[in-house]
Amino acid sequence: MFKIKKFCKNTSARTGFLHTSHGIIETPVFMPIGTYAAIKTLSTDEIKRMNFDLVLSNTYHLYLRPGTDILSQFDGLHNFMNWDGAILTDSGGYQIYSLSDFRKISDDGVEFKSHLDGSKHYFTPERIVDIQRDIGSDIMMVLDVCPPADATYQQHLKAVEITTQWAERCINHLNQKGPKYEFEQIISPIIQGGTSKELRKISANQLIDLNAKMYAIGGLAVGEPKEEMLNTVQYLNNIMPKNKPRYLMGVGTPSDLVESIALGVDMFDCVIPTRNARNGQLFTSHGKINIKNAKYRNDDTMIDKNNNSLISKNYSRAYLHHLFKTQEILGYRIATQHNLSFYNNLMIDAKQSIIDDCFEKWSQKFLNQYNNG
């Protein structure tokens, strides 16, 4: 299922191949987020042309809209959204936990009110697996408890305990029921524990005992300082199985990705490139720019000369500035495609530098240029 092609000699970076029922994914990889079965402003054909092979969608939101009855009618999400690549679905645990005033967690599951109409719903680990079976995701995540960064030690401990219990129930249920459609579904536990090394070790060791095919690191990028996030990833790097994919959930910025690859992470997702694009923030090899700023009104240079995508070279900064000022939808589309191509190219460059035995040198050069402009 997962084969490491090459390790970096001086860091924990590695490149490999993750085999799914809808294609082979080269790692490290960044997943665009299509929460509601769409990457905002883009079609699946455009995503394919940008050479993305794996996208992320969300179980909680798809359960509410369009609903599992519609997804089952189409024999799963791939057909519904016309996507023949791989799909990873988050369980929705983070979204449910964020509904702090509208949910109640017990050892058995979680009761919550829909953010749409206030209707009551109840998720158990088994129900979450069944919803993802209806979705037909290639990679499904277990139901977990994701406390905020300022949670107490006892809250994190309880989250670890429940997450382990739920992970075992999710895996057992999938093993008993099997996939709904005629292809394999991979299920991944999620390591919790905040920034506590003690709790992260407990969570990781308990979940490793379940012998899953991949593992995710959850509960980060929720407000903790970046240094603590990276320290936690570095600590887990020495505990997590080296022969299985590692997915760092919800992270992050270009520098976060490069620094986390050096710590052995294989998979990433984040709303930053698409959400920020719609707000006029573009990622370039020399750092971020806000295209709505007046200084770009007469800027006839391309968006980023070091980005080899046509979208980044065919339009000037002045033109994109104009589109944002006039609130033309084309502006959001160009910005989104540019940012996603930047992230994808970053992964391509990281992979190639590992193969060429120069990842450490490449990463230092990138971080210096990106962070210092």
Please give the positions annotated as active site: 90, 269
250 with 12: CB under 8 angstroms?
Answer: no
User: Which tokens hold the place of 7?
Assistant: 């390790």
Query: CB neighbours (10 Å) of residue 171?
Result: 21
**How many CA atoms does the CB half-sphere of 35 hold within 13 Å?**
13
**How many CA atoms does the CB half-sphere of 298 hold within 13 Å?**
0
d(CA 371, CA 44): 32
d(CA 156, CA 37): 31
User: Which tokens hold the place of 246?
Assistant: 């590692």
Q: Is the peptide bond before 147 cis (omega within 30 degrees of 0)?
A: no
Taking the CA atoms of residue 22, residue 250, residue 247 and residue 194 in that order, the dihedral angle to the nearest 10 degrees is -150
Determine phi and psi for 41, rounding to 5 degrees.
80, -5
Determine phi and psi for 29, rounding to 5 degrees.
-140, 145
H helices, E strands: number in the chain: 15, 17
Where on the phi/psi map is residue 41: left (φ > 0), alpha (ψ -120 to 50), or beta? left
